[in-house]
Amino acid sequence: MPAEEAAASSTSNPSKKFAYSKTGKDGTSTATQVQPIESLSPYIGSRWVIKARVTDKSAVRTWSNARGQGRLMSMTLIDESGPIRCTIFQEGVDKYNEMLVDGKVFFFSKGQIKNANKKFSSVNCEYEISMDGESEIWQVHSNDQSESLLPEKAFNFIPIESLRVKPKGSTVDVIGILASVGQPQAITTKAGNSITKRSVAIADQTALVEVTLWDAAAENWEHPVGMVIGFKAARIAEFNGDISLSLNMGSAVETDLSSAKPEGLLSWYRESGEKVNVPNISKGGNGPSSKAAVLYRNTLEEIQRLGLGKGEKADYITVRATITHIKQENMFYDACPTCHRKVISQNLNSGPYRCERCDQTHEVADARFLLSLMISDGTSQMWVTGFDDVATKVLGVSAEEFRKQSMEDAQYATSLRQRRMYAQFLAKLRVKEEQSGESGEDRLRLMLVDQVRWIGIPHGSPDAPVSTFTTESGIMMKEIDAHFT
């Protein structure tokens, strides 16, 4: 490995730009500038250098999907300007795994800066770094005095109560008083493997939540009730309205929390007689699926930012959106009365109709909707698809009635579409990246699946279910409060 030297022009701010020199194998020396993490963006290319401390380094993990397989490791990098998540792939794992140690400071260069996937990171930064074998990492010179000025840890703690309005599956940092510790349990996974599980609970002034520990973290737990505990990058789970947290390979248990100033928590705990008397969001249906709780409204922007729909299973979200366009072409299709698949007309758009799937011929075909809508929510706009059941709720008419009226009145479809334009509604969306039949490329598909409720009554549908403005205003206020906590 070539020898490196770095010299800071100022040690009062180690994340401030300063010149350093690096001597290569050919003996030549090049000079550039170190820049703070907060200045990184996807628009600066790969010709950047940061100086940062490594924290929360994960074990090496393997991954496998339709595109291939490989290995990766992740960590948080921090300087005085803030933290950023960094993931190293493939050859970079072999090259840098042994060298990178938690707590040590290194120079990092030639990585890709991209938008952060908040579903897998609780780091308070809108970008993240991807590195591989072509990236460069080297340790700072042993005489560099500015190393001691870099922060040791980066946390983004949120109140436990605000877990109610965070997306299921996202990762968060939480801190609280350890309220209870369960016994370890041996369980068998679907794959037949035996693992250890333990449940603990932490509480702050707002709520209590249960946290599930696995394997070594569950087996080696020795922390007593009443201690201040932090969990970094814990994943949110929700079942039947109950919220809980789970630790995974990228999570960490934190006990050195002096930088988080836990005195307020300890004072609250002592003043309450060392008793925890706050709502338990892990019991009694206080989560986002319960009627007693404020339902979480996702945004369309979160689909890209959180990387929704790109896992093995589809993601389901609830959005508050406005219909801005409805495609008029092919709003319905002729369907098999048995399987509801599209049938082929054998006589110029009239019967009989042939169903290839059922291998049957029908004299009459059912009409079924296949609706394409453009929806917007102020953060983004996207095309969504609605099949027959949900499209009937959107249009307020059955596909059979729509076909009949359209045949009698050429302006019927246009008039109906116009009555739905700019109507605001709530809907559950299925989000999944699927292969396009036309191009073979992966495309993100959004499908209306359930829970279409109008905010206010759309023109022409006096019987439509209504979610009042009062209810939605209350939910929006809760969301705003959670955003600023």
Q: Where are the domains of the chain?
A: 4-149, 160-271, 300-483
pLDDT-derived band at 383, boundaries 50, 70, 90: very high
Residue 463 has pLDDT above 60, yes or no: no
How many angstroms separate the CA atoms of 171 and 21, rounded?
38
- What's the mean pLDDT in 399-425? 91
Residues 6+ positions from 234 with CB-CB distance below 8 Å = 122, 171, 172, 173, 174, 211, 245, 246, 247, 251
- What's the mean pLDDT in 213-233? 91
Q: Work out whether strand 208-214 and strand 344-345 pair parallel, antiparallel, or are unpaired.
A: unpaired
Residue 438 has pLDDT above 60, yes or no: no
Residue 14 has pLDDT above 70, yes or no: no
The pLDDT of residue 9 is: 37
pLDDT-derived band at 452, boundaries 50, 70, 90: low
pLDDT-derived band at 449, boundaries 50, 70, 90: confident
The pLDDT of residue 69 is: 85
The b/e string for 175-201 (b: 16+ C-beta within 10 A; e otherwise) is bbbbbebeeeeeeeeeeeeeebbbbbb
The pLDDT of residue 96 is: 94
Residue 405 has pLDDT above 90, yes or no: yes
Residue 20 has pLDDT above 60, yes or no: no
For residue 264 the two structure tokens come to: 């307020």
Residue 309: other Cβ atoms inside 10 A: 22
pLDDT-derived band at 81, boundaries 50, 70, 90: confident
Under 8 Å between Cβ of 373 and 394: yes
CA 482 → CA 5, 19, 66, 375, 396, distances in Å? Answer: 45, 41, 38, 25, 35
pLDDT in tens, 280-334: 888 854 444 443 344 567 788 878 777 778 777 778 788 888 999 999 899 999 9
The pLDDT of residue 372 is: 92
Q: What is the mean pLDDT of the chain?
A: 80
Residue 136 has pLDDT above 90, yes or no: yes
Residue 396 has pLDDT above 50, yes or no: yes
Q: Residue 138: what are its φ and ψ, rounded to 5°?
A: -150, 150
- What's the mean pLDDT in 453-471? 53
Residue 278: other Cβ atoms inside 10 A: 18
How many angstroms separate the CA atoms of 343 and 355, rounded?
5
Domain 300-483: CATH superfamily, name plus number: Nucleic acid-binding proteins (2.40.50.140)
Q: Could you tell me which CATH number the domain at 4-149 has?
A: 2.40.50.140
- What's the mean pLDDT in 238-244? 82
What percentage of the chain exceeds 70 in pLDDT? 80
pLDDT in tens, 31-60: 458 899 999 999 888 889 999 999 888 889
Among the four given CATH numbers 1.10.1200.10, 3.30.300.130, 2.40.50.140, 3.40.50.880, the one describing domain 160-271? 2.40.50.140
The answer to whether 4-149 and 300-483 have equal CATH topology is yes
Q: Is residue 174 classed as helix, strand or coil in its secondary structure?
A: strand
From its phi and psi, is residue 81 left (phi > 0), alpha (psi between -120 and 50) or beta? alpha
Q: Is the peptide bond before 184 cis (omega within 30 degrees of 0)?
A: no
